[in-house]
Amino acid sequence: GSEAGPGEQLARLNQQMAQWRQAERDVEALQTAWSSQQNLLARQAELQRECSRLQAEQENLIPAGKQARSERDAAEQALKITLDLLERQRLARSENVEALRAALVPGEPCPVCGSGEHPWHQADALLAAFDQQDESEAERARQALQAQDLHLQELRDHHTVLPTRLKQAQQR
Protein backbone atom coordinates (compact mmCIF):
# COMPACT_ATOMS: atom_id res chain seq x y z
CA GLY A 1 0.00 0.00 0.00
CA SER A 2 1.87 2.95 -1.23
CA GLU A 3 -1.38 4.55 -2.19
CA ALA A 4 -3.06 6.66 0.43
CA GLY A 5 -6.64 6.26 1.24
CA PRO A 6 -9.27 8.88 0.57
CA GLY A 7 -9.06 10.20 4.15
CA GLU A 8 -5.34 10.73 3.88
CA GLN A 9 -5.67 12.37 0.46
CA LEU A 10 -8.38 14.66 1.82
CA ALA A 11 -6.13 15.61 4.76
CA ARG A 12 -3.22 16.38 2.39
CA LEU A 13 -5.51 18.43 0.12
CA ASN A 14 -6.85 20.35 3.11
CA GLN A 15 -3.29 21.00 4.31
CA GLN A 16 -2.23 22.17 0.83
CA MET A 17 -5.35 24.36 0.60
CA ALA A 18 -4.49 25.89 3.99
CA GLN A 19 -0.93 26.59 2.79
CA TRP A 20 -2.26 28.27 -0.38
CA ARG A 21 -4.67 30.38 1.65
CA GLN A 22 -1.80 31.42 3.95
CA ALA A 23 0.36 32.23 0.92
CA GLU A 24 -2.51 34.30 -0.50
CA ARG A 25 -2.85 36.21 2.82
CA ASP A 26 0.92 36.76 2.84
CA VAL A 27 0.79 38.15 -0.73
CA GLU A 28 -2.10 40.47 0.26
CA ALA A 29 -0.14 41.63 3.32
CA LEU A 30 2.89 42.36 1.14
CA GLN A 31 0.73 44.25 -1.36
CA THR A 32 -0.75 46.32 1.47
CA ALA A 33 2.73 47.02 2.88
CA TRP A 34 4.03 47.98 -0.57
CA SER A 35 1.05 50.28 -1.14
CA SER A 36 1.62 51.90 2.28
CA GLN A 37 5.30 52.38 1.44
CA GLN A 38 4.37 54.05 -1.87
CA ASN A 39 1.94 56.35 -0.03
CA LEU A 40 4.61 57.21 2.54
CA LEU A 41 7.16 57.93 -0.18
CA ALA A 42 4.68 60.21 -1.95
CA ARG A 43 3.89 61.97 1.35
CA GLN A 44 7.61 62.35 2.06
CA ALA A 45 8.16 63.95 -1.35
CA GLU A 46 5.20 66.25 -0.73
CA LEU A 47 6.58 67.27 2.67
CA GLN A 48 10.03 67.89 1.18
CA ARG A 49 8.43 70.19 -1.42
CA GLU A 50 6.51 71.96 1.37
CA CYS A 51 9.72 72.38 3.40
CA SER A 52 11.52 73.79 0.37
CA ARG A 53 8.62 76.17 -0.30
CA LEU A 54 8.58 77.33 3.34
CA GLN A 55 12.37 77.82 3.36
CA ALA A 56 12.17 79.87 0.17
CA GLU A 57 9.31 81.90 1.65
CA GLN A 58 11.33 82.52 4.79
CA GLU A 59 14.36 83.60 2.73
CA ASN A 60 12.16 85.98 0.70
CA LEU A 61 10.72 87.54 3.86
CA ILE A 62 14.04 89.02 4.87
CA PRO A 63 14.41 91.35 1.86
CA ALA A 64 10.66 92.06 1.94
CA GLY A 65 10.98 93.01 5.61
CA LYS A 66 13.95 95.27 4.91
CA GLN A 67 12.01 96.92 2.07
CA ALA A 68 8.94 97.37 4.28
CA ARG A 69 11.10 98.83 7.05
CA SER A 70 12.66 101.24 4.57
CA GLU A 71 9.23 102.28 3.29
CA ARG A 72 7.97 102.67 6.85
CA ASP A 73 10.96 104.85 7.76
CA ALA A 74 10.32 106.95 4.65
CA ALA A 75 6.65 107.34 5.64
CA GLU A 76 7.70 108.36 9.15
CA GLN A 77 10.15 110.91 7.71
CA ALA A 78 7.43 112.20 5.35
CA LEU A 79 5.08 112.65 8.32
CA LYS A 80 7.73 114.54 10.28
CA ILE A 81 8.53 116.78 7.32
CA THR A 82 4.82 117.35 6.64
CA LEU A 83 4.13 118.29 10.27
CA ASP A 84 7.16 120.62 10.40
CA LEU A 85 6.19 122.25 7.10
CA LEU A 86 2.57 122.67 8.17
CA GLU A 87 3.63 124.24 11.44
CA ARG A 88 5.88 126.72 9.60
CA GLN A 89 3.00 127.49 7.20
CA ARG A 90 0.63 128.09 10.12
CA LEU A 91 3.05 130.51 11.70
CA ALA A 92 3.68 132.33 8.42
CA ARG A 93 -0.03 132.52 7.60
CA SER A 94 -0.86 133.80 11.01
CA GLU A 95 1.68 136.60 10.66
CA ASN A 96 0.81 137.33 6.99
CA VAL A 97 -2.95 137.33 7.57
CA GLU A 98 -2.60 139.74 10.42
CA ALA A 99 -0.43 142.06 8.30
CA LEU A 100 -2.76 141.83 5.27
CA ARG A 101 -5.84 142.36 7.39
CA ALA A 102 -4.33 145.48 8.90
CA ALA A 103 -3.55 146.77 5.38
CA LEU A 104 -7.14 146.38 4.09
CA VAL A 105 -8.85 149.69 3.47
CA PRO A 106 -12.65 149.70 3.11
CA GLY A 107 -13.67 150.57 -0.45
CA GLU A 108 -10.21 149.89 -1.90
CA PRO A 109 -9.29 146.69 -3.76
CA CYS A 110 -7.47 143.94 -1.89
CA PRO A 111 -3.72 144.18 -2.53
CA VAL A 112 -3.52 140.35 -2.83
CA CYS A 113 -6.48 139.43 -5.06
CA GLY A 114 -7.77 142.80 -6.33
CA SER A 115 -11.31 142.19 -5.03
CA GLY A 116 -13.35 145.12 -3.80
CA GLU A 117 -14.89 142.90 -1.13
CA HIS A 118 -12.95 141.14 1.55
CA PRO A 119 -14.66 137.81 2.30
CA TRP A 120 -11.73 136.68 4.41
CA HIS A 121 -11.59 139.90 6.36
CA GLN A 122 -12.07 137.78 9.47
CA ALA A 123 -8.63 136.22 9.84
CA ASP A 124 -9.92 133.55 12.21
CA ALA A 125 -12.15 132.01 9.52
CA LEU A 126 -9.29 132.02 7.04
CA LEU A 127 -6.89 130.47 9.51
CA ALA A 128 -9.48 127.86 10.51
CA ALA A 129 -9.92 126.85 6.86
CA PHE A 130 -6.17 126.57 6.39
CA ASP A 131 -5.83 124.66 9.66
CA GLN A 132 -8.51 122.20 8.54
CA GLN A 133 -6.68 121.64 5.24
CA ASP A 134 -3.38 121.26 7.08
CA GLU A 135 -4.89 118.75 9.48
CA SER A 136 -6.23 116.72 6.54
CA GLU A 137 -2.76 116.63 5.03
CA ALA A 138 -1.21 115.65 8.35
CA GLU A 139 -3.83 112.91 8.79
CA ARG A 140 -3.03 111.48 5.35
CA ALA A 141 0.65 111.34 6.32
CA ARG A 142 -0.25 109.66 9.65
CA GLN A 143 -2.41 107.10 7.86
CA ALA A 144 0.40 106.34 5.40
CA LEU A 145 2.72 105.72 8.36
CA GLN A 146 0.11 103.51 10.08
CA ALA A 147 -0.32 101.47 6.88
CA GLN A 148 3.45 100.96 6.69
CA ASP A 149 3.56 100.01 10.39
CA LEU A 150 0.78 97.46 9.82
CA HIS A 151 2.51 95.99 6.75
CA LEU A 152 5.79 95.71 8.63
CA GLN A 153 4.07 94.03 11.59
CA GLU A 154 2.34 91.52 9.28
CA LEU A 155 5.72 90.62 7.77
CA ARG A 156 7.25 90.27 11.23
CA ASP A 157 4.37 88.04 12.37
CA HIS A 158 4.72 85.89 9.26
CA HIS A 159 8.49 85.68 9.78
CA THR A 160 7.89 84.59 13.39
CA VAL A 161 5.40 81.84 12.44
CA LEU A 162 7.32 80.48 9.46
CA PRO A 163 10.11 78.65 11.37
CA THR A 164 7.46 76.83 13.44
CA ARG A 165 5.59 75.78 10.30
CA LEU A 166 8.87 74.66 8.75
CA LYS A 167 9.76 72.55 11.81
CA GLN A 168 6.29 71.00 11.81
CA ALA A 169 6.58 70.14 8.13
CA GLN A 170 10.03 68.62 8.70
CA GLN A 171 8.79 66.50 11.60
CA ARG A 172 5.83 65.04 9.71
Give the contacts of 89 (CB within 8 A, at least 6 positions apart). Answer: 130, 134
Helical axes 123-171 vs 6-103, angle rounded to 10°: 160
Tens of pLDDT, residue by residue over 24-64, are 999 999 999 999 999 999 999 999 999 999 999 989 988 99
SS (H, E, C) the chain: CCCCCHHHHHHHHHHHHHHHHHHHHHHHHHHHHHHHHHHHHHHHHHHHHHHHHHHHHHHHHHHHHHHHHHHHHHHHHHHHHHHHHHHHHHHHHHHHHHHHHHHCCCCCCCCCCCCCCCCCCCHHHHHHHHHHHHHHHHHHHHHHHHHHHHHHHHHHHHHHHHHHHHHHHHHC
Q: Distances from the Cα of 42 to the Cαs of 8, 88, 155, in angstroms?
A: 51, 68, 32
Q: What is the mean pLDDT of residues 2-25?
A: 92
Q: How confident is the model at residue 1 (pLDDT cuts 50, 70, 90)?
A: very low
Q: Is pLDDT at 11 greater than 90 in this prediction?
A: yes
What integer pLDDT is reported at residue 162 of this predicted model? Answer: 86
Closest CA to 122 of 106, 142, 101, 107: 101
Lowest average pLDDT, out of 82-86, 127-131, 163-167, goes to 127-131
Q: What is the mean pLDDT of residues 144-148?
A: 92
Q: State the pTM of this model.
A: 0.50
Percent of the chain exceeding pLDDT 90 equals 47
Tens of pLDDT, residue by residue over 96-109, are 766 776 777 777 87
Specify the amino acid at residue 90.
Answer: R
What integer pLDDT is reported at residue 120 of this predicted model? Answer: 53
Q: What is the mean pLDDT of residues 149-167?
A: 89
The C-alpha R_g of the chain, in whole angstroms, comes to 42
Percent of the chain exceeding pLDDT 70 equals 89
What integer pLDDT is reported at residue 17 of this predicted model? Answer: 97
